[in-house]
Amino acid sequence: MLISLISFVSSLFLVTLCNPKEPMPVKTINYLALGDSYTIGEGVDEKDRYPNQLVDRMNAIGGQLFFPATIIAKTGWTVDELDAGITERQPSAKGYDLVTLLIGVNNQYRGRPVADYEKDFEAMLKRAIGFARGKNDRVIVLSIPDWAVTGFAKARNTDQKKVGAEIDAYNAAKKAICDKYKVTFIDITQEYRVIGGQPEMMAEDRLHPSGLVYTRWTEKLIEEVKKIEF
């Protein structure tokens, strides 16, 4: 958070410095990132979390000034636990200009039915849209990565095909709900299946992604965020 705040202040200073007499009006963006270990960046430096990378990259591009991301996420959270965490955290009542959502891997890991996930995720997506002041084009959902390709999973002799099939079912349900509400859905799963097991793409626990993976996700997010008319 400190690194992102320093980046934000630096960006604001540069905008003012360019025209000290008549500062250009710049739209400021409040960003809320919801999720689990992937969003909180388990095992990586704070600066490498994809919400923080997104803020830094968008500020470097210019055009708007992103405030440091508000991140509500915790390792191990399922959708219902995220819901409870949001209620406890009480996000800004004023809402946010951008909301991202990546949740579901722990529902799958615990063996919960896809039908239950569909119900919980739809409620969570509606809540995310509410945080975006009802603007569904300000909400971006990321697919669930396939953790079975990681070193952690292989060391446990995880049934990769079984997990992969379950992840696909979860993501299909997730995308269908996003389509229903006209919310942008980004597929990060297919690429992750190719790169997720590479040594440099894993954090020290050999389960969670490294900052290099989060950079790839950030690039995909940037493509979509650029399309939004804030």
- Type of residue at 13: F
**In contact, 52 and 4? CB cutoff 8 Å:** yes
11 vs 35: which has the higher pLDDT = 35
Decide if pLDDT at 176 tops 80.
Answer: yes
Containing 44, the helix (H) or strand (E) segment is: none
pLDDT tens digits for range 99-121:
999 999 999 999 999 999 999 99
Among 7-11, 40-44, 46-50, 95-99, the range scoring the smallest mean pLDDT is 7-11
pTM summary value: 0.90
Identify the band that residue 199 occupies on the pLDDT scale cut at 50, 70 and 90: very high
- Count other C-beta atoms under 10 Å from residue 121's C-beta: 22
3-state secondary structure of 68: coil
Q: Are 62 and 24 in contact (CB under 8 A)?
A: no
The structural domains of the chain, with segments of one domain joined by +, span 2-225
Mean pLDDT of the chain: 93
Do residues 163 and 116 make contact, with C-beta atoms less than 8 angstroms apart? no
- Structure token pair of residue 36: 């689990």
Distance between CA 184 and CA 68 in Å, rounded? 22
* The two structure tokens encoding residue 219: 């690039």
Alpha carbons within 13 A on the beta-carbon side of 189: 26
| CATH for the 2-225 domain, from 3.20.20.70, 3.30.1050.10, 3.40.50.1110, 1.10.8.60 | 3.40.50.1110
Q: State the pLDDT at residue 4.
A: 54
For helices 114-131 and 79-89, angle between their N-to-C axes, nearest 10 degrees: 30
Count of C-beta atoms within a 10 Å radius of residue 90: 8
Q: What is the pLDDT of residue 102?
A: 98
Q: Which tens digit of pLDDT belongs to each residue from 62-72?
A: 999 999 999 99
